[in-house]
């Protein structure tokens, strides 16, 4: 999935999370969900994060280690040591990223290095992703208007 689809899905998850749970600082929680929702693509050389940290795409296969539940768990545990109130926010964003990528034909290997792959039929950058993006934007706008 594209950067913008991950970001709007992360925003939707952030809105839901901040309605369900009380965070010490709502903005920090939202930013951590958004960070988690885009961080896995740091392993892709053409992604925004991959361009910022060019060594990571050279060292790691795209949709390998950085798209695994093990890394999500490690980051979440690390974050919970320093800011336990926000670990859920980051984990939710990261898992959202994995779920969206699992909808694509390339899929993800959530238990990497296991080669078990979850995949779907929504081509990255294709028409269906465009429709999904528009639906997500619509739900986000609706949530922002109805939640206030
Ligand atoms: Zn990804």
Q: Can you give the residue ranges of every domain in the chain?
A: 3-147
Q: How do residues 73-117 score in pLDDT, each as one tens digit?
A: 999 999 999 999 999 999 999 999 999 999 999 999 999 999 999
Spatial distance between the Cα atoms of 138 and 12, rounded to a whole number of angstroms:
10
List all residues 6 or more positions away from 51 whose beta carbon is below 8 Å from its beta carbon. Answer: 45
Name the token pair of 65: 């280690």
148 C-alpha to ligand 1 centroid (Å) = 31
List all residues 6 or more positions away from 128 whose beta carbon is below 8 Å from its beta carbon. Answer: 121, 122
Q: How do residues 53-67 score in pLDDT, each as one tens digit?
A: 999 999 999 999 999
Q: Is the pTM of this model over 0.85?
A: yes
103 C-alpha to ligand 1 centroid (Å) = 11
146 C-alpha to ligand 1 centroid (Å) = 30
108 and 117 Cβ atoms separated by less than 8 Å: yes
66 C-alpha to ligand 1 centroid (Å) = 8
46 and 53 Cβ atoms separated by less than 8 Å: no
């Amino acid at each position: 999935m594209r950067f913008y689809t991950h970001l709007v899905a992360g925003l939707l998850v952030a809105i839901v999370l901040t309605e369900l749970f009380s965070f010490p600082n709502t903005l920090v929680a939202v930013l951590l969900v958004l960070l988690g929702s885009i961080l896995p693509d740091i392993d892709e050389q053409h992604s925004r994060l991959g361009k910022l940290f060019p060594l990571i795409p050279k060292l790691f296969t795209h949709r390998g280690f950085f798209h695994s539940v093990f890394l999500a768990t490690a980051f979440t545990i690390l974050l919970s040591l320093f800011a336990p109130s926000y670990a859920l926010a980051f984990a939710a964003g990261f898992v959202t990223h994995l779920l969206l990528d699992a909808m694509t034909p390339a899929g993800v290997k959530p238990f990497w290095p296991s080669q078990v792959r979850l995949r779907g039929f929504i081509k990255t950058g294709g028409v269906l992703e465009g429709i999904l993006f528009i639906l997500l934007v619509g739900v986000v706008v609706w949530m922002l208007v109805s939640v206030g």
